[in-house]
Amino acid sequence: MPQVFDVILSGGALVNQDGEGARDVGLRDGKIAEIGDLSRASAGETIDCRGLHILPGVIDSQVHFREPGASHKEDLESGSRGAVLGGVVGVFDMPNTNPLTTGEAELADKVARATGRMHCDFAFWVGGTHENASDLSELERLPGAAGVKVFMGSSTGSLLIADDAGIADVLSHTRRRAAFHSEDEDRLNLRKSLRIAGDPSSHPVWRDVETAVRSTRRLMNIAREKGALVHVLHVTTEEEIALLAEHKDIASVEVTPHHLTMDASDYARIGTLAQMNPPVREARHREALWRGVAQGVVDVLGSDHAPHTLEEKAKPYPNSPSGMTGVQTLVPLLLDHVNAGRLTLQRFVDLTSAGPARLFGIAGKGRVAVGYDADLTIVDMKRRETIRNSWIASRVGWTPYDGKEVVGWPIGTFVRGAKIMWDGELVTPSSGAPMRFWSAL
């Protein structure tokens, strides 16, 4: 008897653990059921993917969807709508909401808000604090928890552990890989006078290279002393790439699309729309991040999607908040870099699918393999598009890449076998569910 599937993706170029090649993919009951020649099989729906690439579903392990507490600029529904429109099947949302995600009740509330309402699958980082450090080994294993996130330098929100003793206390209690925003708070406070009113180009002068390097060096020393695994978020400096290359046994590295795409000259072009923490820096740092990608020092890409309204961003620096949209533009920006020869499509897959699954122990995701969740990002590597504000689903409605032409575009997003997005349209109602992690099964 012929095989029967719910969906067959036919004729596409599949990129998975075998490399890249023309293979059909059969989906059944939300899982990858068969890979190969399915020309004799039948399905409820057969999708012609000739000319397209089928990738493991892209996972964005750093977003700020602002709910609860700041839903005037984003919420879980709108943020996840942008995610799937951009080809992203799953996200890890950050804890600096209001209330902060620092306890079991706050985490459960977020999971309840997200389930069946988000368009993609999800997990939530739990904020590490001085007060909850002793509880983290239990909190990090709760359903829907991505792990523990710590701010060593102040950014958006009030989460902060600036002292070495506090970091050591957190790492004494974590068993999963803990994530860190690594900037030295003491140096940030000492250098505030270097901010120039109305001049966002002074942002990387204030939050300078040494602010990042000093913090990351402290973190490496503490993590090694405690025998803990750490994940350094949004690395921005040449010096940190060199430092972290010496600590790959305990430290993983994230870089962002904006730090790979922009440099300090963009402040003159778009002003505070380029303002982020840690900041966009001089071009030498961007090129060092690309070397880190090429050399394998960098483990994952995260968008650090952190929206603010245009009215908020229009405040004169330094009263303007740091953050920009990014989850929806992650895939097209990086496909454009692939087409420009800066990385291979296989390396893109490793940074956005296999990498997050490997680092954080995500169960059943990150590969196109039989038995795994049918999470797929389908792309047209030749499609030329111009990114526009009008395409952005975020409630703030803008992107720093408005007007940028890219080559390579997300065509389809499948989450657990459901076709959520196809050719720019949402085609299935939201059905997001918590990701599962090996450490908590």
CATH number of the domain enclosing 100: 3.20.20.140
Given this model, what pLDDT does residue 156 score? Answer: 58
Rounded to whole angstroms, how far apart are CA atoms 364 and 104? Answer: 25
| 365 assigned to some structural domain | no
- The one catalytic residue among 93, 184, 263, 304: 304
Given this model, what pLDDT does residue 157 score? Answer: 58
Given this model, what pLDDT does residue 42 score? Answer: 97
> How far lies 363's CA from each of 141, 185, 434, 438, in Å?
13, 36, 11, 6
- Do residues 125 and 151 touch, judged by C-beta distance below 8 A? no
Rounded to whole angstroms, how far apart are CA atoms 186 and 167? Answer: 15
Rounded to whole angstroms, how far apart are CA atoms 71 and 77? Answer: 10
Domain that holds residue 318: 57-360
Given this model, what pLDDT does residue 155 score? Answer: 63
Given this model, what pLDDT does residue 215 score? Answer: 98
| 377 assigned to some structural domain | no
pLDDT tens for the chain, residues 1 to 441? 689 999 999 999 999 988 999 999 999 999 999 999 999 999 999 999 999 999 999 999 999 999 999 999 999 999 999 999 999 999 999 999 999 999 999 999 999 999 999 999 999 999 999 999 999 999 999 999 999 999 998 765 558 999 999 999 999 999 999 999 999 999 999 999 999 999 999 999 999 999 999 999 999 999 999 999 999 999 999 999 999 999 999 999 999 999 999 999 999 999 999 999 999 999 999 999 999 999 999 999 999 999 999 999 999 999 999 999 999 999 999 999 999 999 999 999 999 999 999 999 999 999 999 999 999 999 999 999 999 999 999 999 999 999 999 999 999 999 999 999 999 999 999 899 999 999 887
- Do residues 176 and 145 touch, judged by C-beta distance below 8 A? no
Across-strand partners of 232?
180, 253
| 217 assigned to some structural domain | yes
| 435 assigned to some structural domain | no
Residue 171 structure tokens: 């790492």
Stated pTM of the model: 0.97
- Do residues 213 and 233 touch, judged by C-beta distance below 8 A? no
Rounded to whole angstroms, how far apart are CA atoms 212 and 214? Answer: 6
| 143 assigned to some structural domain | yes
| 18 assigned to some structural domain | no
| Omega within 30 of 0 (cis) for the link into 200 | no
Across-strand partners of 255?
301
Of the candidates 291, 387, 299, 383, the residue with the CA atom closest to the CA atom of residue 343: 291
| 19 assigned to some structural domain | no
Given this model, what pLDDT does residue 120 score? Answer: 98
Domain count, the chain: 1
| 235 assigned to some structural domain | yes
Residue 212 structure tokens: 């990042």
Q: Residue 37 catalytic?
A: no
